[in-house]
Homo-oligomer: A and B are copies of this chain.
Amino acid sequence: MKILVDAMGGDNAPLEIIKGSIQAHNEYGVDIILVGQEDVIKSVSDENNLDISDFTVVNASEVIATDEEADSVLKKKTDSSMSVALKMLSQGEGDAFVSAGNSGALCVGGTLIAKRIRGIKRPGFAPILPHFGGGCFMLIDAGANLETRPEMILQYAVMGSAYMKNVMKVDNPRVGLINVGAEEHKGMELHHKTFELLKNADINFIGNVEGRDLPYGNCDVAVCDGFTGNVVLKTYEGTAKAIMGKVKELFSKNAKSKLAAALVMGDLKKMVKEFDYNEYGGAPIMGTLKPVFKAHGSAKAKTFKNAVRLTKEYVEADVINEITNALK
């Protein structure tokens, strides 16, 4: 299997991306095609004694920054690592693409360069998030598409179910619609119409879910419009990060608190790990014709390696074929 890697995307590119790719290659046996500024990739590898002799390196002269406009992937920076890799993906020169770069650009490029699955109206950005039940859930759409219609959310539900079942091995994934209350009549016209569609679809729809249920893992796929999903994603991760930061501060204040930390170290590590998104590695862009996977922007080698593993499983599980069949 050939995985295209955006060597220039993310806060820690290219060093941590190259390291993670090497780890993934060694552990999972995937072939890696590094796409990016060839001279930078080679000099960083040399300086850090990283052996990339097994990899193909494809030159792309430009880099899309994290704060750049999403459509720069299409117009301004057509020789960026992301654009070049997506073109290679669409031409069959790789089985999947992983990037820790600009999410917006990846959604736009995934949709318009790598192309959509026939029948899919809008691909969805679908982060896998940890919950406190000890597992994870998919949030879709978390911002690929802000203006959302009910039939798009139905497709998110179908795609999310296929991913969670085949890649995350969740039996009969529970789909919840994010809303302002549990009752069917809650929300606006968008939610009423979507509820009706989900109720009648061939998925395991459990009804409306609320933001306060998500940390307890009450569903496996949480669907919503892209604006709501993006706000949920950032509030969820931001609040968790803020509190975890406070807990860390609490334990590292002085000798007494460090002793306390030592006493509960095992459980503390377990708790931090349970809520560590790095364990899950990122977010597939659901709905593209070939797997496109977004690794966390702050990914270091281990997280990026996990993202490559999930991408490999995404290819192997034949999720895209299952989605194609579900839409027939």
Contacts and interface: CB of A to CB of B under 8 A. Distances in A.
Interface of A: 132, 143, 146-147, 178, 180, 187-188, 210-216, 226-228, 230-247, 250-251, 253, 256-257, 259-261, 263-264, 267-268, 271, 274-275
A132 B244 CA distance: 11
A260 to B, nearest CB: 4
A143 B180 contact: yes
Contacts of A244: 243
A103 to B, nearest CB: 10
B260 A188 contact: no
B235 A239 contact: yes
Contacts of A247: 247, 271
B212 A147 contact: no
B232 A212 contact: no
B246 A257 contact: no
B228 A211 contact: no
A217 to B, nearest CB: 10
A315 to B, nearest CB: 30
A227 B234 CA distance: 16
A134 B230 CA distance: 26
A263 B250 CA distance: 11
Contacts of A226: 180
A274 B242 CA distance: 12
A264 to B, nearest CB: 5
B234 A146 contact: no
A92 B263 CA distance: 60
Contacts of A234: 180, 210-212
Given A212-B235, A250-B271, A132 B264 contact: no
A191 to B, nearest CB: 9
